Amino acid sequence: MLPAIIESVPLAPLTTLGLGGAARFFAEITDAAELGPGLAWAQEKHLPAFILGGGSNLIVADEGFPGLVLRMRTRGRRWLDERGETRVEVEAGEDWDDVVADSVTRDAAGIECLSGIPGSAGAAPVQNIGAYGQEIASAIRSVRVLDRESLEVRELAPDACGFGYRDSNFKREPDRHVILSITLALVPGGAPSLRYAELVAALSRSPSLADVRQAVLALRRRKSMVLDESDPNRRSAGSFFTNPVVGADLAALLPEDAPRFPLADGRSKLAAAWLIEHAGLPKGFRMGPVGISSQHALALVHHGGGATADLLRLARHVHKTVLARFGISLVPEPVLLGLRWD
């Protein structure tokens, strides 16, 4: 069944940044059965097709997108308890934070630290979303996808997803699969994840999953990392750069007070926010209609009246400044639609 396809739909209102041009063609997918025909329609007309989730991790070119944008709006959560495990299959269009809230209400541990992350459930594996010491990859049991070439539905095990730090095969090969649903394996009555010092410091002893969720939401809110219409930093894509992973030699050149997190392979993960601020770019730094969040140096903010070109100019300035000061190249985290970074 072909979804209703309309022309010239502005994409800026469908993103948290509020930037970018229009899609030449656009359709909302409310039934997974519409996706294959939608992609086939684009193939027949030799048009590129882009899958849109919640728009919270997306930067759209000012020129818009010359093909078909398919916005995933499928809904449904199916819970099952068996063999000491709680599983839930979540349709791609579900709001991610609603899924986390539901799991906490059901006392199922495994994703409580991922509270407050905006976006859709189908987009969560693409970036392998993570926060406060937890990643979605650790909870994923399988991912149901549509092969974009054959239009066949497949079920992928976690090891076929190529998960890494803020990375996956879905991110590296965006034209290969469309995520239809994800199945999570959670621990009924399990203890919350407490691996992050900032989170532990905000909690009392023996916290419940609900305590952890509320603490995470409070921490994110203080950093303007929760969607809030009253927040002047609200127009952002969250963390604009990933925390860089560098070898021991490069990490040793940094000042002693630079945060670093040793990894099993001998490398270290650094704090991109620290690098930005200590390169001389403070919170609240402005370049016209865009700037660095006044609450978190890793978020680039659109204050209104700007364009995507303004945001990229700021992002490249941040990149160049950090590279000149520390010799470390920051990598953007959001998806760039119709844009090139290099």
Task: Select from 177, 174, 326, 193 the least CA-distant residue to 259.
Answer: 326
How far apart CA 75 and CA 22 sit, in angstroms, is 25
> In whole angstroms, how far apart are CA 212 and each of 35, 128, 299?
37, 20, 23
Task: Select from 230, 186, 236, 195 the least CA-distant residue to 216.
Answer: 195
> In whole angstroms, how far apart are CA 333 and each of 90, 126, 243, 298?
24, 11, 9, 11
How far apart CA 259 and CA 268 sit, in angstroms, is 10
How far apart CA 342 and CA 38 sit, in angstroms, is 31
What single letter denotes the amino acid at residue 211?
A: D
How far apart CA 281 and CA 272 sit, in angstroms, is 12
Task: Select from 178, 183, 184 the least CA-distant residue to 33.
Answer: 178
Collapsing DSSP states into helix, strand and coil, what is residue 253?
A: coil
Query: What is the set of active-site residues?
Result: 166, 239, 333
65-72/153-156 β-pairing: unpaired
Question: How many degrees, rounded to 5, is the angle at CA 310 between CA 309 and CA 315?
Answer: 95
The answer to whether 24 touches 78, Cβ cutoff 8 Å, is no
130-131/108-109 β-pairing: unpaired
